[in-house]
Chains A and B, each alone.
Chain A
Amino acid sequence: DIVMTQTPLSLPVTPGEPASISCRSSQSLLSSDDGNTYLDWYLQKPGQSPQLLIYMVSHRPSGVPDRFSASGSGTDFTLKISRVEAEDVGVYYCMQRVEFRWTFGQGTKVEIK
């Protein structure tokens, strides 16, 4: 199975400042079948179910604030928050779907300093 490794695991942030989380996969997430790269980002706010933030590396679903952006290719990916707000606290997970056996990263806990 593909192993997903996130860094850092804990990220204290100051409101209004930027933040960045990295995610690395043990093999490329580029599909040889269709040329798409299957890497998503999810946020689990305290006491809530996870929610989709980004799909296919950099696509933001409607309703997700534009302060969230993401990029990457192959095995290295990054989620960025341009200006952190208090409501952004929680645990962020990357997840690969290039294989049907999906895997999550360990999670990065974002908290306000």
Chain B
Amino acid sequence: EVQLVESGGGLVQPGGSLRLSCTTSGFTFPNYWMIWVRQAPGKGLEWVANIKQDGFEKYSVDSVKDRFTISRDNAKNSLFLQMRGLRADDTAIYYCAAGSVVRGILHWGQGTLVTVSS
């Protein structure tokens, strides 16, 4: 059974930091692009960042560039998102996901809620 389990979310003050983790099982992690997608309360999906299988190619949406860093550990089948300089508009459910170039985003986690508020 494919599982992606996010952790590390919570309440943080503006300007603070959080590190999200995603632990996976049930599929060959090193073979997949890994992605973070977020969803602000009552809003649509927003792609945040993705990272290629080798961990060297990374891309992120402009609004988080220079503040968020995506990384992965293929030996531990895990994905991470280091978030710094958090702002109120970063408040969202953050989903970890796995995909392929051909077939899109195949597997999704249940999400972890990040709330940025004083």
Instruction: Give A contacts to B, CB under 8 Å.
Output: 1, 36, 40, 42, 44, 49-52, 55-56, 59, 61, 91, 93, 95, 97, 100-107
Contact = CB atoms under 8 A, between A and B. Distances in A.
Contact of B108 (A40, A51, A56): A51
Interface of B: 35, 37, 44-47, 50, 57, 59-62, 95, 101-106, 108-111
Given A49-B111, A52-B105, A97-B104, A102 B50 contact: yes
Contacts, number: 61
Nearest to B47: A102
B106 A52 contact: yes
Contacts of B106: 52, 61
Nearest to B96: A49
Contact of A44 (B45, B60, B103, B110): B45
A80 B41 CA distance: 28
Contacts of A40: 104-105
